[in-house]
Structure 1
Amino acid sequence: MAKSNNLIGFLNFLSFLLSLPIIGGGIWLSSRASSTDCMKFLQWPLILIGIAVMVVSLAGIAGACYRNTFLMYVYLWAMFFVIAALVFFVIFAYSATERGAGRPVMNRVYLDYSLQDYSGWLADRVSSPIYWAKISDCIRASHVCRKLHRYVGGFPESPELFYLRKLTPIESGCCKPPTSCGYTYMNETFWISGGGLTGTDPDCAQWSNEQHQLCYSCGSCKAGVLASLKTSWRRVSVINVIILIILVLVYVVALAAVRHNKQLDDPHGETRMQKARPSRLF
């Protein structure tokens, strides 16, 4: 029984350590939401799941050290619900970011983004006027477009150099007009129509050279946010899938250990063991 308790204690210590990257992933999403994604949604549920894993693991360690059967059963049930919550989080993160990707542009390294390529609950939430007002204000406050400016010899870099840049989804979607609109590059955030637009994209009429406006009202900007969210959530989900597999293995082994302890504590089991011992002596 002592070996089983030691095993349970070790497994709970392992799950306690696994809670740290879960919380770290939530904190990373929170920092992304504050600086780039500007969409505060999934980081707090993820942080709460990590804290729950940590607390449940501590309860499991205490139950194993003090051989408290009640605590061990509480631990098993709590860990079951924590694993279920993590499964739901992973499935939701993948399903919410399943559709949509950047569009390659001829003679450009960066991609263009269109809101038409995205659909579902997350796209509707980002596009809603209430949420988009907050998100666009966050993007303005981050000065992401201002940081695009580069100078060569005191002058803005040439169009050829700009076209070779690998822009982030938000930089491409919010800081410049869509390539199909036919605007002429002057600098990173200043483009002129050159006598008329050639594109039929509704975003062509939304573009403004006013630095507080730019393409913040464009569908391409919303698509850029969705693409950025997709990248962030997918990265965290990959880590969570690995942690989830380990937690399930820890849970299964802990469940088997608890059942083993229960059999050893069973009076009838003890009687059978006592009867079996003399037979092995002869």
Structure 2
Amino acid sequence: MGVSNKITATLNFIALLCAIPIMAAGIWLASKPDNECIHSFRWPVFVLGALMLLVSLAGFIGACFNKQGLLALYLFCMAALIILILVLLIFAFTVTRPDGSYSVPGRAYREYRLDGFSKWLRDYVTDSGTWQKIRTCLADSDTCPKLNQQYISADQFFMAHISPLQSGCCKPPTLCGYNYVNPTLWINPVNPGADQDCLLWNNDQNLLCYNCNSCRAGLLGNLRKEWRRANVILIVAVVVLIWVYLIACSAFKNAQTEELFRRYKQGWA
């Protein structure tokens, strides 16, 4: 194995290692209750990581066995994957930049407004057919029931850092003036707030606030929080991959030069 191919093999091993945290981030995202209910958001990061793993493995094999055609294919596929990750990063940052959360006096958790999020995300969850599927999935999950096991008193609950999804779907908005019994059971006020969500709240454990705009907003708040965390891993990974790719391109050119020189010497021998 030539020096250039050794360098390429080492770089591909590094790229292969970079694929592991990308796949781990994808699995982490897919395991979240909100992403379990939104299938189109569930696996793109994991799929990109898996493709990166396969491409890096192909490049490693091509470098070890001096398969120049396989190395050329590796460089093309790696460039395409880096571009895809960059596109995903830009898209994710764009649609998750607006934050629809706001603080509530006397509460540790935040509440969420649907109009505070990006139009693309709002349009996605406000589609009646899409939301009906998401709503059914959320109602079947343990997102809200587990709150009753974690918090007993009102003080405990009000000082809890619950997730955006739980804040939006499992309780009525604070402005409605409902009185606490437990995290998913509230006594109706004499004069509920004028907000539409105040009328949609229902103590039926299969209904709660799953039809509320606050629930849709809480779902988007969860997505925003999780994807921005995943973006940190993707940024670090793509920076390393770009560095690896540029050096691999240089090593590939050197390997071709070495091969031409070797053939030239053989022709004169």
Please say whether Structure 1 and Structure 2 have the same fold, judged by a TM-score greater than 0.5: yes
User: Displacement of 1:260 after TM fit?
Assistant: 1.4
User: Displacement of 1:262 after TM fit?
Assistant: 2.1
Q: Which runs of 5+ in 1 are unaligned?
A: 275-282
SS at 1:60 equivalent:
helix
- Amino acid in the other structure paired with 2:157: F
User: Displacement of 1:53 after TM fit?
Assistant: 1.1
The equivalent of 2:196 in structure 1 is 202
The equivalent of 1:10 in structure 2 is 10
The answer on 1:161 being equivalent to 2:160 is: no
Give me the whole-angstrom Cα distance separating, in 1, the residues matched to 2:96 and 2:38: 13
Q: Which has the higher contact order (CA 8 A, sep 6+)?
A: 2
1:171-193 residue CA offsets vs partner (Å, 9 max, x unmatched): 11111111111112222112223
The equivalent of 1:27 in structure 2 is 27
1:128-158 residue CA offsets vs partner (Å, 9 max, x unmatched): 111111111111111221111158xxxx833
The equivalent of 1:51 in structure 2 is 50
SS at 1:266 equivalent:
helix
1:99-134 residue CA offsets vs partner (Å, 9 max, x unmatched): 123210011111111212123212211121111111
The equivalent of 1:222 in structure 2 is 216
Give me the whole-angstrom Cα distance separating, in 1, the residues matched to 2:204 and 2:104: 25
User: Displacement of 1:267 after TM fit?
Assistant: 4.6
The equivalent of 1:90 in structure 2 is 89
In the comparison of the two structures, how many residue pairs are matched?
Answer: 266
Alignment TM-score, normalising by the size of structure 1: 0.87
Give me the whole-angstrom Cα distance separating, in 2, the residues matched to 1:59 and 1:160: 57
Give me the whole-angstrom Cα distance separating, in 2, the residues matched to 1:112 and 1:51: 36
The equivalent of 1:279 in structure 2 is none
Alpha carbons of structure 1 residues 131 and 123: separation in structure 2 relative to 1, 3 Å: same
- Amino acid in the other structure paired with 1:168: S
The structure 2 residue matched to 1:189, chosen from 162, 184, 189, is: 184
The answer on 1:250 being equivalent to 2:249 is: no
> Of the two, which has the highest radius of gyration?
1
Would the aligned equivalents of 1:99 and 1:117 in 2 still touch at CA under 8 Å?
yes
Would the aligned equivalents of 1:264 and 1:270 in 2 still touch at CA under 8 Å?
no
Range moving further from structure 2, 157-166 or 47-56: 157-166
Would the aligned equivalents of 2:30 and 2:36 in 1 still touch at CA under 8 Å?
no
Alignment TM-score, normalising by the size of structure 2: 0.91
Give me the whole-angstrom Cα distance separating, in 2, the residues matched to 1:60 and 1:165: 49
SS at 1:75 equivalent:
helix
1:72-122 residue CA offsets vs partner (Å, 9 max, x unmatched): 111111111011111111111111211123210011111111212123212
The equivalent of 1:265 in structure 2 is 259
Q: Which runs of 5+ in 2 are unaligned?
A: none
- Amino acid in the other structure paired with 2:25: G
- The residue correspondences of 1:50-199 to structure 2 (distance < 5 A) are 50-150=49-149, 157-197=152-192, 199=193
Give me the whole-angstrom Cα distance separating, in 2, the residues matched to 1:162 and 1:49: 39
Give me the whole-angstrom Cα distance separating, in 1, the residues matched to 2:203 and 2:53: 50
Moved over 4 A (4+): 267-271
Give me the whole-angstrom Cα distance separating, in 2, the residues matched to 1:64 and 1:255: 12
